[in-house]
Structure 1
Amino acid sequence: MRIAMVSEHASPLAVLGGVDAGGQNVYVARLSEELASRGHDVTVYTRRDSTDLPDRVTMPGGTVVEHVPAGPPRPVPKDELFPYMPGFGAHLARAWQRERPDAVHAHFWMSGMAARIGAHPHGIPVVQTFHALGTVKRRHQGRRDTSPFERVGIERQLGRNCSRILATCTDEVYELADMGVSPQRVSVVPCGVDADHFHPGARDVRHVPPREQRHRILSCGRLVRRKGYDKAIRALTRIPDTELIVAGGPPPGLLETDPEAERLLKLAERAGVADRVRLIGAVDPAHMPAVMGSADLVLCTPVYEPFGIVPLEAMACGVPVVATDVGGHKDTVTDGVTGRRVPAGDAWAVAAAVRDLLADGELRRRMGETGRERVLARYTWHRVADGVEQVYRQVAVGRGLRTEVA
């Protein structure tokens, strides 16, 4: 098949760790790579954010990344890209007139808007993955939500008009239903993890911070407020003999200029745990499995999380997870089996769960082994691509699909 991926702000070529570079970039890159390896012709359309970028880049696996001129050729926060989507869509319409894809897969709501503009004149089916929903963001961030006012209405329209919605977790199906989008229009296929890269044997101590306490817990991801690192720091006040490593954000040399890093370090100081909290900044993806493997458990405490790849990475490394009971965590982390799920925002529940696991090394070992088995059975990129490929083929021939979990 000829497949067009539209990912307006999340390029598969981006360096991870920035405010707008995270799980969506990984999803687009790895799904494209897996589909290309199966012989599909895959092109990813993403916004040109630098004058130095070539028009087209071919990735090692054969995926082509095309940089679309839409807005200024410089980095722009994703919530400010909305005015440029009609131009993005017009570019797609011209490109697809020359070479029509069999299916278009739009990632994020603005990509869906551009994809619809580009696909409609040619009758091309559009599969929509939202990755995050505006209703959820608005509920949790309130006045801090910087999304354009039009977001929720456009997401509702996309949900009703696209050929198929590809949700990444079952919680999203319920959120879409509350927006008036029928579950019959939704297929659930989760995100995946590279289980060859993330594995229990990654123990290269050269790239791991030396341990300074009896136990180590690790939190990692983009350094943004909603990830809930403040809850991890507060929980640490009730977890003795334990250090908290926070991996993510800008490079280590720039941490002191990062507002969220500054906020977290001040919180650790006020809480009396500054000597047990270490922010290590961005970690080279090649070294992340070793960093995860150095921890007794991985802590994921966001107040909301559309999916959350970090628990899968930890489980692939054989490390148990303590995660808030939100979004994709409800699907990926089996409470009491591969880790623990706790109420979002409850630092004391986090502390209690962590203490229980740190007190039982044998339980942690069993949870780690079971987590690895669960990843291999359900969350490899090969398995994810199986589910996505099925959706593409069915929309390409105009058939519907019942809601299903791959």
Structure 2
Amino acid sequence: MNALLARTSQGLLARSEAEEEAALRLGAPRENIRLIPSGVDTELFHPEAVPMPPRQRGRRPQAAEPKPGAGKGAQSDATAAAAAKAATAGAKSGGATRPDGSDSPRVLCLDGGGPARATAIAAIRAIPEARLTVAGGTAHEPVRRGRVELLGPVPHTAVPRLLADADVLVSTPDRDSGGSAALEAMACGVPVVATDVGALSDLVLDQITGLLVPPRRPDLVARAIRRVLHRSSWQLALGTAGRDRACARHDWDRVATETERFYLERIEAATAAAAA
């Protein structure tokens, strides 16, 4: 976005507070900006979208949908936070480590290139009981290096199956990447460990739907992953709150409705101004 576009546009959509602040710094009038978060297909990305591996049964939330008659988006952030707090009350550290290597905790990274992948790989070295799967990045044949599997690019339709087998998603870019991977994980009930940058700062509620860490700190990423893996009750609570938030704030139907309403408002305002 450039300053001329920001100042002269009749309407600007921002996906996050960071984008909204950037538009304001460029001179966009506040009344011309609307913060509408990114959307996700909550049917494609769903805790039961694909058959769940046996090891995950009982560790995934039941599909959390808005109550009949309440409409999508009816559950507030406060409600989601209260649900997570209630679910974690009295949770004790549990044994997420499994002796069978094939049943080790799975960490998934969908940011397959650049600093995000490097951070995830560095973090997993400090968690010897866990395995890391990395999808995305440049094209190559799947490669396994110890406890790290590099899949290369995968079709978007394959992501729900990868998420179905993940205990935690890590999304650790050092700058705003839009946060779509984190949002899809939340919709599937998978806890998220993410860097506190851009849209991720808005999408992931720290200690409620996941954990936020500073960028380029694999040591803190590893610590956050261990916290989730070693407290199974909290893992379930984070996933449940994430699914609730995805349905309440990010379902595509709600996002599309809000976007259409904003466009119509700005068109009406521009028409009225031209006629004055």
TM-score by length of 1: 0.52
CA distance in 1 between partners of 2:4 and 2:179 (Å) = 25
> Could you say what secondary structure the match of 1:245 adopts?
strand
Gaps of 5+ in 2: 54-100, 272-276
Summarize the Cα distance change of 1:299–1:306 in structure 2 as closer, same or farther, 3 Å threshold: closer
Percent of matched pairs sharing the same residue: 34
Q: Are 2:95 and 1:215 equivalent residues in the alignment?
A: no
Partner of 2:124: 236
Partner of 1:4: none
> Could you say what secondary structure the match of 1:348 adopts?
helix
> Could you say what secondary structure the match of 1:175 adopts?
helix
Matches within 5 A, 1:17-56: none
CA distance in 2 between partners of 1:285 and 1:174 (Å) = 31
1:391, distance to aligned residue in structure 2 (A) = 1.4
Partner of 1:198: 45
Cα distance per residue 1:302-355 (max 9 Å; x no partner)? 001242111110011110000000111111111101110111111111111011
1:193, distance to aligned residue in structure 2 (A) = 0.4
Partner of 2:251: 380
Preserved CA contact (<8 Å) 2:7 2:26: no
Partner of 1:347: 218
Matches within 5 A, 1:64-143: 109=1
1:249 pairs with 137, 161, 169, which one? 137
Preserved CA contact (<8 Å) 1:246 1:279: yes
> Could you say what secondary structure the match of 1:292 adopts?
helix
1:204, distance to aligned residue in structure 2 (A) = 4.2
CA distance in 1 between partners of 2:137 and 2:233 (Å) = 33
Partner of 2:6: 159
Preserved CA contact (<8 Å) 2:179 2:199: yes
CA distance in 2 between partners of 1:376 and 1:169 (Å) = 17
Partner of 1:78: none
Q: Higher relative contact order at CA 8 Å, sep ≥6: structure 1 or structure 2?
A: 2
Partner of 2:34: 187
Amino acid at match of 2:122: R
> Could you say what secondary structure the match of 2:160 adopts?
helix
Preserved CA contact (<8 Å) 2:133 2:148: yes
1:184, distance to aligned residue in structure 2 (A) = 3.0
Gaps of 5+ in 1: 1-108, 110-154, 257-264, 266-273, 401-406
2:113 pairs with 218, 221, 224, which one? 224
Partner of 1:309: 180
1:176, distance to aligned residue in structure 2 (A) = 2.3
TM-score by length of 2: 0.75
Cα distance per residue 1:139-181 (max 9 Å; x no partner)? xxxxxxxxxxxxxxxx111111111111111111122233333
> Could you say what secondary structure the match of 2:193 adopts?
strand
Q: Are 2:238 and 1:367 equivalent residues in the alignment?
A: yes
Preserved CA contact (<8 Å) 1:215 1:242: yes
How many residues align structurally?
224
Summarize the Cα distance change of 1:224–1:179 in structure 2 as closer, same or farther, 3 Å threshold: farther
Matches within 5 A, 1:264-283: 274-283=145-154
